[in-house]
């Protein structure tokens, strides 16, 4: 499996988790993708990464809005996230 395939699989696993973690089932499910260094990782497994500290906003590379059925991800560039985030958090 190459890096791109691995990132896709992790994104879809994260999408499933984002849907489950919503407080309001009608609300938006989204993922923030971060670029992190090995030093920031506390532990990792086949389908998860735990950081030693909270992620930093400057590490955010993009966001994905998860479709209601969890099958599609819509990509948002960093400059678009601050505009969209309040609407995603509203629900």
Q: What is the DSSP letter of 31?
A: E
In this prediction the pTM is 0.82
Structurally, the chain folds into a number of domains equal to: 1
Beta strands in 1-91 (DSSP E): 29-34, 41-44, 49-51, 60-66, 73-77
> Is residue 59 within 8 Å of residue 34, measured between CB atoms?
yes
Q: How confident is the model at residue 84 (pLDDT cuts 50, 70, 90)?
A: very high
Enclosing domain of residue 81 = 3-90
User: Which tens digit of pLDDT belongs to each residue from 32-57?
Assistant: 999 999 999 999 988 788 999 999 99
So what's the pLDDT on residue 63? Answer: 96
Nearest of 60, 61, 74 to residue 30 by alpha carbon: 74
The CA-CA-CA angle for residues 73, 79, 85, to 5°, reads: 60
Residue 4 has pLDDT above 90, yes or no: no
Residue 91 has pLDDT above 70, yes or no: no
């Amino acid at each position: 499996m190459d890096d791109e395939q691995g990132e896709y699989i992790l994104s879809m696993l994260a999408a499933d988790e984002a849907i489950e973690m919503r407080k309001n089932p009608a609300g938006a499910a989204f993922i923030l993708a971060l670029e992190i260094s090995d030093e920031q990782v506390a532990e990792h497994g086949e389908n998860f990464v735990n950081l030693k500290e909270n992620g930093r906003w400057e590490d955010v590379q993009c966001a994905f809005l998860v479709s209601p059925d969890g099958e599609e991800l819509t990509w948002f560039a960093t400059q678009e996230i601050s505009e969209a985030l309040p609407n995603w958090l509203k629900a």
